[in-house]
Structure 1
Amino acid sequence: MAESFDVPLVEEEKFYLPDPSYKQQAWTKDYQKAYEEFLADPDGFWETQAKQLEWFKPWTKVREWNYPYAKWFVGAKLNITYNCLDRHVANHRRNKVAMIWRGEEEGEERILTYQKLFHEVCRFANGLKKLGVAKGDRVCIYMPLVPEQVIAMLACARIGAVHSVVFGGFGVNALNMRIKDAEAKVVITADVAIRRGKTIPLKTIVEEAVVNAPSVEKVVVLSREKENPVELHREMEVDFYDLMKGVSTRCEPEVMDAEDPLFILYTSGSTGTPKGIVHTTAGYMVGTYYTTLNVFDLKDTDVYWCTADTGWITGHSYVVYGPLCAGGTVVLGEVTPDYPDPGSFWKIIEELGITIFYTAPTAIRMFMKVGEEWPNKYDLSSLRILGSVGEPLNPEAFEWFYKAIGKSRCPIVDTWWQTETGMQMITTMVGEPMRPGFAGKSIPGVVADVVDKSGKPVEPGTGGFLVIRNPWPSMLRTVYKNDERYQKYWDTIPGCYTAGDLAVKGKHGYIMVIGRADDLIIVAGHNIGTAEVESALVSHQAVAEAAVIGKPDPMKGNTIKAFVILRVGFSPSDKLKADLTYHVRMTLGPIAMPSEIEFMDKLPKTRSGKIMRRVLKAKEMGIDPGDISTLEE
């Protein structure tokens, strides 16, 4: 890890200032004042946010901090679904639309009010109880982006079961690993997902993944194909809606301690094995509620669409828990931005009158590629807030998003945060000057900084390492069954949480996030561990050794290139490249597929045997590899 580095800065003097009315109407009307109030009394700040929610028993202490371990709202009792559902059903939001779901086919739409969602969650929670699921049990959810996925998540939280949602694009091995590590008692899936007019079998993947997963007692299957219904193996499998038959629409919420785990979410790591990030109940609830309300400036009349899949942290925090706690109307879509044509997103925005649109830079760059012709076909005047998440939003994409979609009037909240942080940490709050290329500043409640290896703040315009200096409510509590990996977040740079990202702090205090400092590749907003892809390649009979790097790509942010050494008896060929690509697809899923494979006789390594991926990347990019003194001869 270098001390710091110099970077070419974008034009920091360039900024856009939204109409003053945005600031006048925002929940956070004065960023600087709010931030100073937080710094003066951090615990009081977070207590104010927490008091907006409902608790079964209040806390005795806002925060308990024994570096690097935190407890928030100590002694409090609650259930997050009570705040997502019950409190709305008990007041004027009972018949408010909680969720609108859109599918790919014309006319595919489902609408659930808060009352309807409440009843469905309670019914499925009672169904899970019939299967013997109880507080503390782990439940794996491997489903497409349909309302039942959200119902399953909330039902788990209702009864105190810990959910582990796995993205439906992962393959057998990735799913098996996550099931086994979490020791899931039940797996919830669907027969198929639907993407670009094609059905993708999920149940068959689950059938393979539960082999050698002895903790699994039952598999719950949502049957979507009515004409060719999937056959269930009744000794192990049960139909999703059969489980809900004959049960009450009432299910008393499990009383949870503030620090009881809410969910485990696996994220790629640089050591090969994905990390099971553990989030707890109270702090996560407060953090996601507060940021949804203040970063998006969510009003009761808004129609809000976050395009993320709930298999990722963005879907957990800003499709499910944050917006529902805040009483929002949430849009879900099992849709892709360019199917059946590049107008699919804009059509939904027009038809549903969406006011807040939160998407990924990958999608924005795809929109840029096809041009303004498509969004110009639709009425996007309902939009008032635009958001970006998943990776840095480059200045060109910012400009296009702001002008072509927001018509130079909608504030853009370019958010930086992680699976580990649970909530948004850095952005430009609504009403503040927006600087293309810079995510923004720490939100009130967060102390982010850019530092050198020793933890000393770097000079403006100099690159360094992005860190968080103080604990925050929705921070991860540990890595499941591997607390040493949790401690590394706080041990890498003294006195700080190290995010693993490189960044620059400009002279105005705005932070530009450059990308990962470790062996992760962000492909279309998804974190892919280099070691995971390398392990998948080496598991093929032809491969002796492999290394992968990320290559900058104007659409996806990065693509994956693999460098492969073959075993004796195998020869390079286009056929073998195709076989290896397919092997990775079947092992990890399509998001981890290499776009290029190069066969090599040897890989650059240190004298201790560690592959020097940066040397491969430097050669690929035609740049200086830097210090190679540790490279073996």
Structure 2
Amino acid sequence: MDGTTAGYDATRARWAADNEAYWMAAAAGLDWHRPPSRAFFPDQGSYGLWFADGWLNTCHNALDRHVLAGRGADTALIYDSPVTATQARYTYAELLARVEKLAGALAARGVGKGDRVIIYMPMLPEALMAMLACARLGAVHSVVFGGFASAELAARIDDAQPVAVITASCGIEGARVVHYKPLLDAALDIAAHKPAFTLLLQRPQEQAAMGPRDVDFETALATATPHPCVPVEATHPLYILYTSGTTGKPKGIVRENGGHAVALHHSIPMIYGLSPGDVMWSASDVGWVVGHSYIVYAPLLAGCTTLIYEGKPVGTPDAGAFWRVCAEHQVKLLFTAPTAIRAIKKEDPKGALLAQYDLSRLEALFLAGERCDPDTAQWAETLLARPVIDHWWQTETGWPITGAFRGLGLFPARLGSGGKASPGFDVVAVDEAGHELPPGTMGTLAIKLPMPPGCLNTLWQAPERFREAYLEHYPGYYDTSDAGMVDEDGYVWVMGRTDDIINVAGHRLSTGQMEEVLSGHPDIAECAVIGVADALKGQAPLGLVVLKAGVNKPNETVTAELVARVREHIGPVAAFREARVVARLPKTRSGKILRQTLRKIADREEYAVPPTIDDPAILDEIKAVLGC
């Protein structure tokens, strides 16, 4: 690694000179049932489609291709579960055999190309297998994060209308058993759509009661006939991943098979500098886009070894879990959120736990999901004596918009920046009128169309909503809804959101969705939720509520009821813990709450340090604005 931008500059220049040839060369690294005649079809889709006349199967490229190439004995998957004291390894051949049987079990019950399957599972190898089995059949999977409550799961069931649900009897969080099956049963009671069956993995920690719709996971596999890969069009959906929408209604991001496989396969050597056989640990969850892209698909498409970790790798009782896992499984590249590194810094500021482990195989730490403050990045780099690389991307893009490109020389990072734009992404800052701004000027970050392969082209059953949310505000551009700038050297600086999405520990959450839940409380007349700084999670939601006339409750009681309500309706993922009663909310003459005013209070530039949820200064300013 030369530490200069020369390799990156040459690669980006090659892409800029011939976008078509660049992506056709990338596509040649995969197996195609019918190779595409060209890379980009500008007259199709919302802004064009990638590899539209090609046919392939993503599961074949992630598993079968490597086994056929003689790498069946190489390790594909490592499972590490300290919460159950369990570890397991699967070779590519072993993983393929399980996925073939699971695909056969689904097909025997009527699941086929185009059918949707909800996957609601903890961090288990079977979750990854379920995703790949759906891909093998040409079915469309939608993974729902286990932290979501029944109402949120029901909303996704009604939107995706799956023919089947794959779940487990329980998950484990520390010493607590999370009852997945009752949560699913409650969601199915709420949902208008009823899947034909549920495939249920019974875990030793809890045996769930079987209902008339339920099929035992292991019994189904034992009796199944292995199923071959079903070739699909490159534009055929691989998965739907729901992300928070500004209206409170989740948006179903659709990922297509062809562009997704090309982009992720291409990203592993270019951005992360990994080769077949290298161990990559993305310390995320399969319910989020990082889990989809860099726990499941990208490492396997590239022939690497991926790692699934069940449990929270930061916190009691094992604050050194990150380092233990990296040492024990010879992890070459660790990918996590800045929140995790801040938590390690808080618990072990001098790195005493790190000194207990041999991290000689670890070469780099990658961070994403939220902006990493320079102090945290510098602390980690000093502690590890290895590159710490912050890079920026979104659920919608599916792979990094920016980076520092280990495979192209790993040019110098600039603390606070996400690096430079990946080949395929043309990132600019624009003003409210959509005019491009000069280098170093703050604005809304936008990406010139077309987006590269792997990015969303529509929302599930909502093409108009897709255009309204992403394309219409700045014609000719994709609106990231992130504020920031591009400096004179091409480094991209992401400073925060321009909509009502807040970023809590790398999880994008809608304040509008939380407001809907709060307003449903019988004592609440009106409310607003804003994001304020949190030392550990980056941001945390703060609810401001006006009580109905005649309600006389202690603030502590109101807060406790609202916290419980958000947990019930959205789930613990919302991390909603604070609500404050105020006399009124600032409004326009037409009665619209001035949420931007409230957000600006929390982001006031004169604060030397952004105010936290516990800082009385922010509450004093809010009260001053509200006149209470």
Matched, 1:257 2:233: yes
Equivalent of 1:108, from 86, 90, 93?
86
Q: Which runs of 5+ in 2 are unaligned?
A: 607-617
Deviations 1:470-522 (A, max 9, x none): 32111212111211121121111121111000012223221111111111010
Q: Secondary structure of 1:139's match?
A: strand
Q: How does 1:157-556 map to 2 (within 5 A)?
A: 157-211=135-189, 212-225=191-204, 228-233=206-211, 235-248=212-225, 250-336=226-312, 337-370=314-347, 371=349, 372-405=351-384, 407=385, 410-430=386-406, 431-471=410-450, 472-488=452-468, 489-556=470-537
- The alpha carbon displacement at 1:413 in A equals 3.0
CA distance in 2, matches of 1:224, 1:105: 13
Superimposed CA distance per residue, residues 283-312 of structure 1 (whole angstroms, 9 cap, x where no aligned partner): 111111111221111112411100110101
Taking the aligned partners of 1:307 and 1:529, their CA distance within structure 2 comes to 23
Native 8 Å contact 2:368 2:392 kept in 1: yes
- Which deviates the most, 613-622 or 287-296? 613-622
| Structure 2 counterpart SS, 1:584 | helix
| Offset of residue 41 of structure 1 | 0.2
Looking at structure 1, the residues matched to 275 and 496 of structure 2 have their Cα atoms a distance apart, in angstroms, of 33
| Cα distance in 2 for residues equivalent to 1:453 and 1:622 | 21
The worse-fitting range, judged by mean Cα deviation, of 476-485 and 202-211 is 476-485
Contact residue 108 and residue 224 of structure 2 kept, 8 A: no
Aligned to 2:560, what secondary structure does the other structure show? helix
| Contact 1:192–1:225 (Cα < 8 Å) also in 2 | no
Q: Which amino acid aligns with 1:444?
A: P
Whole-angstrom distance in 1 between the partners of 2:204 and 2:48: 46
Greater shift after overlay, 303-312 or 543-552?
Answer: 543-552
Match of 1:5 in 2: none
Question: Structure 1 residues 595, 149: CA separation in 2 closer, same or farther (over 3 Å shift)?
Answer: same
The two structures have a TM-score, normalised by structure 2, of 0.92
How far did residue 397 of structure 1 move?
1.3
Cα drift, residue 106 of structure 1: 7.2
Tell me the distance in 2 between the aligned counterparts of 1:33 and 1:593.
44
- Cα distance in 2 for partners of 1:453, 1:617 equals 18
Match of residue 108 from structure 2: 130
Q: Are 1:575 and 2:541 an aligned pair?
A: no
Does the 8 Å CA contact 2:120/2:146 hold for their aligned counterparts?
Answer: yes
SS at match of 2:69: coil
Give me the identity figure in percent. 37
Contact 2:83/2:311, CA 8 A, preserved across alignment: no
1:203-239: CA deviations, max 9, x gaps?
Answer: 111000011333312112111135x522111x11111
Unaligned runs of 5+ in 1: 1-18
Report SS of the residue matched to 1:54.
coil
Determine helix, strand or coil for the equivalent of 1:479: coil
Flag the 1:539–1:185 CA change in 2: closer, same or farther, 3 A. farther
Amino acid at match of 2:27: A
Q: Distance in 1 between matches of 2:165 and 2:346?
A: 39
SS of 1:288's equivalent?
Answer: helix
Q: Partner of 1:30: helix, strand, or coil?
A: helix
Match of 1:8 in 2: none
Which of 585, 594, 600 matches 2:567?
A: 585
Give the length in aligned residue pairs.
599
SS at match of 2:253: strand
Task: Determine the C-alpha separation between the residues in 1 that align with 2:65 and 2:605.
Answer: 57
Q: Assess if the C-alpha contact under 8 Å between 1:295 and 1:413 holds in 2.
A: no
How many angstroms does 1:280 deviate by?
0.8
Alpha-carbon distance in structure 1 between the residues aligned to 2:401 and 2:196: 39
Does the 8 A contact of 2:332 with 2:361 survive in 1?
Answer: yes
Q: 1:594 to 1:229 in 2, by over 3 A?
A: closer
Q: Please give the secondary structure, in 1, of the residue aligned with 2:423.
A: coil
Moved more, 606-615 or 254-263: 606-615
2:553 is paired with a residue of what secondary structure?
coil
CA offset at residue 419 of structure 1? 1.1
Distance in 2, matches of 1:102 and 1:530, equals: 34
Q: 1:56 — aligned with what?
A: 33
Native 8 Å contact 2:117 2:164 kept in 1: yes
Pick one of 51, 57, 67 that aligns with 1:79: 57
CA–CA separation in structure 1 for the residues paired with 2:280 and 2:55: 30
Q: Distance in 1 between matches of 2:85 and 2:521?
A: 44
The 3 A distance-change label for structure 1 pair 93 and 339 is: farther
Is residue 155 of structure 1 aligned with residue 137 of structure 2?
no
SS in 2 for 1:512: strand
Over the aligned positions, Cα root-mean-square deviation in angstroms equals: 2.0
* Aligned-partner residue type, residue 579 of structure 1: E
AA partner of residue 605 (structure 1): K
Tell me the secondary structure at the aligned position of residue 521 of structure 1.
strand
